[in-house]
Amino acid sequence: MDLETAYQVQSGLVAARVAAGERIVGVKLGLTSRAKQQRMGVSAPLTGWLTDGMLLEPAAPVPVEQLIHPRVEPEIVFTLGRRLEGPGVTPASAMAAVRSVSAGLEVIDSRYRDFRFTLPDVVADNASSALFVLGDKEVEPTDLDLAVETCVLSVGSTVVDTATGAAVQGHPARALALAANSLAERGLALEEGWIVLTGGMTDAVPLEPDRPVTAEFTHLGGVTVSCGEARPM
C-alpha cells in the first residue's frame, strides 16, 4: 500500500465515523519526533483526523474495554482562531492563526501488534487515534515560548519522562505548518475553531488500571487520564 492509498483508507474510516453522527473537530500529528520515527521504523510525520467522539471529558475514565492496547502521550495543543491553508505555511504564519494553546493527553491505540507498522500502515489506521483530553487552561500564544515549555509526565506517583516543546519538530509551530501544508496536498485546510494535537512530546506510556497518567506543563497547567480501578478476575 502506498501513502496516497493509505490516506484514502484513512478518509474512509473517518467518513464512516461522520456518517455515524460524529463531527470532525481537528487533526493530529503523529511521529513528529525524529527519535520516535527511528524507534517506530518510519521516516516522516503524518496526520490524522479528530472527531468529537474522540474527545474525553477531563473527569471521565478511559473506556479501555473499547480499546486494544492503549498508550498515552503528552501534547501541546493549538486551537485555531482562523482558517489555515497551505501550501507555503511557515511556522510564523501558522502561529499567527492560533487562538489559544492548551495542555493535552492523547490516548493512542493501534490495530497493529506492539505498535509495529510501516508509515502507510499507521496512516491508514488514522495515525493510531483513539481519544484525547484537554486541560482546562487556555493560554495566549504570544505569552509563551513553546520551544522551552516543559512537560513532566507521571504514571501514578512516579515521574517517567520529561520533555520540552522542542521535541516536536524543534517547535510545535513547525508541526502546525507541516499539517497545513500536508493537507493542502490533498486539497484540504485547517478550519477556524479546529483543535490540532501537535505530536507526542515523550514516548507513549501504557494505560493501566489504578495508575493515572498526568502531564504537568510549566505554563499550560496539568491534565490527567485514568481508566479507573482494576477489576477482580
- pLDDT confidence of 59, banded at 50, 70, 90? confident
Phi (first) and psi of residue 68, to 5 degrees: -100, -65
Residue 77 to residues 8, 10, 69, 196, 214: CA-CA distances in angstroms?
26, 22, 23, 6, 15
- pLDDT confidence of 218, banded at 50, 70, 90? very high
Write down the H helix ranges in the chain. 3-19, 34-40, 91-96, 119-124, 172-184
| pLDDT value for 39 | 65
pLDDT higher than threshold 90 for residue 41: no
In the predicted model, what is the mean pLDDT of the chain? 92
Q: Assign residue 114 a region (left: φ > 0; alpha: ψ between -120 and 50; beta: otherwise).
A: left
Sequence letter at residue 208 = E
| pLDDT value for 229 | 52
In 10 A of CB 181, how many CB atoms?
Answer: 17
Between 204 and 59, the higher pLDDT residue = 204
Among 55, 46, 64, which Cα is nearest to 10's?
46
| pLDDT value for 88 | 97
pLDDT higher than threshold 70 for residue 35: no
Q: What percent of the chain has pLDDT over 90?
A: 84
- pLDDT confidence of 232, banded at 50, 70, 90? very low
CA gap 111, 128 in Å, rounded = 8
In 10 A of CB 221, how many CB atoms?
Answer: 15
CA gap 189, 45 in Å, rounded = 17
pLDDT higher than threshold 50 for residue 49: yes
- 198 with 176: CB under 8 angstroms? yes
In the chain, how many H helices and how many E strands? 5, 11
Domain 3-225 belongs in CATH node 3.90.850.10: yes
